Amino acid sequence: GIEEGLRSPIEYPYGCLEQTTSRVIPLVMVEELARALALEGLDGPALQRFVRAGVAKIGRHQTANGGFSLWPGGEPEPYLTAYALWGLHLARRAGHPVSDRRVADGVSYLREALGGSSRSSPVHSELGELGSRAFALHVLALLGKPEAQLATRLREERSKLPLFGRAFLARALAATLGK
**pLDDT at residue 63 in the model:** 97
User: Is the overall model pTM greater than 0.75, yes or no?
Assistant: yes
- Cα(first)–Cα(last) distance of the chain, in Å? 47
**pLDDT at residue 123 in the model:** 46
Which of 36-50, 132-146, 160-174 is least confident?
A: 36-50
List C-alpha distances in Å: 138 to 7, 39, 103, 112, 132. 30, 34, 15, 15, 10
More confident residue, 176 or 120: 176
Residue 85 scores a pLDDT above 50: yes
Arithmetic mean of pLDDT over the chain = 85
28 HSE (CA, 13 A, CB side):
23
**pLDDT at residue 33 in the model:** 74
